[in-house]
Amino acid sequence: MSINDITNAAAAMNALKVRYQEFFDDTDNDIGQRRAAYDGLASDLSGIVDNKLTATFYIDAENGDDTSDKGNVPNPLNTLAEAFSRMVPGGKYIVKLFGDQTHIIQDSLNASNAHISIDRYGGENRPRMVSLTSSSHPTIDYCTNIQLFNSSVYVTGVDLETELAEKGSPHFSSGMFSCSNDSSVKTLYSDVLLGDFPIVVTNAGHFCSFVFQHGNVSREDGSIQNTKMMYAQTGSIFISSASVPAGDAWSDYVNVIRDANGASQNIISNLVL
């Protein structure tokens, strides 16, 4: 091999080395670009998930707009139904109802594995949340409700009301909050006006706890008079710093079952008055 051949071979090796280096440089750049794109995508997805799993919805029943993509104070939603439709299982949500207004539960709303706080904003007086009587069945009355599956709801400063039965035959297991799988409802500084439907019902075979604190309970004129605050086969109810109208007893509003000897046989336990 001549000196010229060796020189040519060395030049070819050097050229090949440059090409390999350019290849690896391009690969490194490509990997870097892909990693940056991945990190950006991961960040975007995390933001989307966080926005879905944690959110605050402001609702103005008079001036809100359910097409609003914000649901904030300047651009509130109009209905509870829209707020619940934006919730996903496993999330934590705050629902704020504008004061001085009546907020209707228009249909059956659902919450699964969720933690929901419902309170007020704006206005001078507490808002009301009302379950309507549904006339879909020809002979039995049901009410619109919020169905809780392994979920908790904490209501603060929002009054609760159920309507009168239109047919005079309310279904015993229909109430504002319908609970399954260890769900819970807690109210604080919220008054209750009972029509012909309870506030909390527990589906058969499931457990639900109901805490009612610092509120007043009364019954709507014209009700069938035997509606209780809670209907449950198994569950618990805790009441403190609360009152019923003069002349009424708590047994008019809470299930208390006793045997012939006066011993408590409550289907709802842990009653504290």
pLDDT tens digits for 14-66?
Answer: 766 666 666 666 665 666 666 665 666 555 555 555 566 899 999 999 999 99
Rg of the chain taking only CA atoms, in angstroms: 30
pLDDT bin (cut points 50, 70, 90) of residue 216 is very high
CB-based contacts of 121: which residues, under 8 Å, 6+ apart? 58, 73, 96, 97, 98, 99
pLDDT at 147 (0 to 100): 95
Residue 77 dihedral angles phi and psi, to the nearest 5°: -80, 175
pLDDT at 138 (0 to 100): 67
Beta carbons within 10 angstroms of residue 173's beta carbon: 16
Give dist(CA 239, CA 271) in Å, integer.
7
Burial of 212 (C-beta count, 10 Å sphere; 0-12/13-18/19+): buried
Which of 3-7, 100-104, 169-173 has the least mean pLDDT?
A: 3-7
Beta-strand pair 115-121/208-213: unpaired
Give dist(CA 211, CA 130) in Å, integer.
19
Cβ atoms 173, 143 nearer than 8 A: no
Cβ atoms 79, 109 nearer than 8 A: no
Residue 206 one-letter amino acid: H
Output the CA torsion 216→217→221→223 (10° steps): 170
- In the chain, what percentage of residues exceed pLDDT 90? 48
pLDDT bin (cut points 50, 70, 90) of residue 166 is confident
pLDDT at 26 (0 to 100): 64
pLDDT at 267 (0 to 100): 47
The mean of the pLDDT values for the chain is 83
